[in-house]
Homo-oligomer: A and B are copies of this chain.
Amino acid sequence: MSAARPGVALVAHSGGPTPVINASLLGVIQESRRHREITALYGARFGVEGILAEDFVDLYRQPHEVLEAIGRTPSSALGSSRRENTEEDLARMVEIFSKHNVRFFLYNGGNGSMGTAHQIAAAADDAGYELQVIGIPKTIDNDLVQTDHSPGYGSVARYFATAIRDIDADNRALPKQVEIVEVLGRNTGWLVAATALARAKPNDAPHLMYFPERRLPLHKFLADVEGVFSRLNRCVVAVCEGQLDETGEPFGADVRSGSRGSLAMNVGHRLAMLVSEHLKLRARSEKPGLIGRASSLTISPVDWNEACLCGSHAVTAAVQGAGNQMISLVREPGTEYRVTPGLVALDEVAYVEREVPPEWRSENDILPPFFEYAIPFVGEVPAFPRLDD
């Protein structure tokens, strides 16, 4: 690869925010200042909508201490978008890039966004416009392929591990109740798996967890809950918002139409109602929902550093002319945890979803290999001391 043509760098966010997408932004800003090929650094307000509206923030003009502080906050400081782009949008974006001499486009998102990034690169190529497009990985769902894990996941995993530990303490103090905790995740169970990370002893919560990768027959769920309850006189269940029953329906939950089909809105509550109705047990549900992905207090330091690294490495790669690729996190072999940034073609990660490996999960629990995988970047969530310990 050869050095890229100098010009403006533009960074944009896409899809749902994460607790560390601003850390990636900080990495982009810090690294950009080191390269004279980058004549200015713009941030698009609200993702592609800001590009199409030419609504840019000149990031070099923001006070340094504000940017440092923003880098430590959750959610997207630039704003994001879920817009589905048309062919016209893509062509228009290339025109706008040309008008502003944007030569480096850094797009921070998940697998759908990597598809968009790839389309933008292709549109620029068609127009004969020299543009380096680099994807910065970001997803709380951890479903991007070709990377060990994705920035954002570690912190939200930490949120759910902490939440389940806390709920477990509550349920232990006031038992005779079934607690359903609805966890983020439509199609993959990476976050539900993380609810087990604070477990220290055999009867610590979650007592049951289910993976949306696999349909869950209602009778099986009820039998599982009944079994745990009869043994412990309480039960904490972690279930994904996207969990489906044996017929492919969300247990009678309310649904709304979303960008990827219909989305159930209250699966946890529906399951609590079904427990109450069928098993005659006191049941309730909690749904932290977006509070989980916006949580400021559970940012994993390793996740934060890696998000920052992905941002800075995207700039380096762009300046080196490594366009049409996404930054990945490569786990180095050895007993000590170490990741280095890698590069992977955008079209290899676009629109592909990585599931939790079947050999890492049982029918209602996550297995040891996951703990080895996740703890290094989620961080330890210490168990609570107890009187009966």
Contact = CB atoms under 8 A, between A and B. Distances in A.
B294 A297 contact: no
Interface residues of A, number: 61
A80 B173 contact: yes
Interface stretch (A33-41, A86-94, A114-122, A280-288): A280-288
Interface in A35-59: 43, 46, 57
B269 A166 contact: no
A170 B163 CA distance: 19
B167 A294 contact: yes
A77 interface: yes
A74 to B, nearest CB: 6
B297 A286 contact: no
Interface in A267-298: 269, 272-273, 276, 282, 284-291, 293-298
22 contacts: A16-B174, A43-B387, A66-B389, A69-B385, A70-B384, A70-B386, A70-B387, A75-B170, A75-B384, A77-B386, A79-B173, A80-B173, A80-B174, A163-B291, A169-B294, A170-B294, A181-B291, A256-B276, A266-B266, A287-B287, A287-B288, A297-B298
Interface of A: 13, 16-17, 43, 46, 57, 62, 66, 69-70, 73-82, 162-163, 165-167, 169-170, 172-175, 179, 181, 254, 256, 265-266, 269, 272-273, 276, 282, 284-291, 293-298, 384-387, 389
